[in-house]
Amino acid sequence: MEAVLTHLRDAIERGEYAIGDKLPSEAELCRTLEVSRPVLREALRALQTMGLTVSRTGKGTFVVANAVEDPTFGDYAASDLLEVRRHVEIPVAGYAARRRTPEDLDHLVHLLERMERETDTTSWVALDTLFHLAVAQAAQNPVFRRVIEEIRDALARQSAFLNELGGRREQSNREHRAIVEALTDGSEPDAVEAMSHHLDRVENTLTDIMRSAHTPAEGAAPRGTARTSDGA
């Protein structure tokens, strides 16, 4: 999928597909790039998240920009989402360290252990959103949980995007464990630091993806012969 995405993104940024152009049909792209439809659709979703294309039901996928600026996750731009997360989740972690109950800790540890065992990205992403909801719950303020509920879909979309393109899962698990350890210790400074580090890594990975070189990914073939590692 990364090879297909890099290939299509590069073609758009070079002007092979200009703003306003309609991309070839899925069937045609699958034949040309020699990939399966699920792989192609993942790449097309990523292009749309990056703000380069838009999908119009019954009409196809159209190019709307030739450079990546601010990706969108659901209803929210990535920059807006991260800004809110910093202002909400960092202090929430501090409150949670002071107010968490034994039941809150048991729930968080259970979620963390499931995440560390999970290999399916979709299932892991669902657990990821539940983890952040659980931290908000541990702060014992229903408004915090309501805020996280409001952005839950965007968090899931961002998490899936970062895992598919940034390989974030194992690193994120380690960051989540640091958060849980700080909450278990009841250390507000450590909890704040752990959540800050987690969001820093989210931002850094997103920035790396957005600024990735406009050359074919390692293992990708020239235009018209893109390959995936599983040969799909």
Q: Is residue 204 part of a domain?
A: yes
The pLDDT value recorded for residue 223 is 38
Angle, CA of 27, 222 and 2, to the nearest 5°: 65
What confidence score (pLDDT) does residue 213 get? Answer: 41
Residue 97 covered by a domain: yes
Identify the domain containing residue 139 by its residue range.
72-210
For residue 19, give Cα distances in angstroms to 10, 22, 77, 82: 14, 9, 21, 28
The predicted pLDDT at position 212 comes to 65
The answer as to whether 230 is a domain residue is: no
Instruction: Per-residue pLDDT tens, the chain, 232 aa: give them.
Output: 778 888 888 888 888 999 999 999 999 999 989 999 988 988 888 888 777 888 888 889 999 888 777 788 888 999 999 999 999 999 999 999 999 999 999 999 999 999 999 988 889 999 999 999 999 999 999 999 999 999 999 999 899 888 877 788 999 999 999 999 999 999 999 999 999 999 999 999 988 887 764 444 444 443 344 333 333 3
Whether residue 23 lies inside any domain: the answer is: no
- 87 within domain boundaries: yes
What letter represents residue 128's amino acid? D
Tell me how many domains the chain contains. 1
Contact by Cβ (8 Å): 229, 219: yes
Nearest to 194, CA basis, from 109, 102, 90, 87: 90
Q: Does the residue 187 lie in any domain?
A: yes
Q: Which domain CATH number covers 107? A: 1.20.120.530
pLDDT of residue 47: 86
Residue 25 lies in a domain: no
Q: Does 67 map to a domain?
A: no
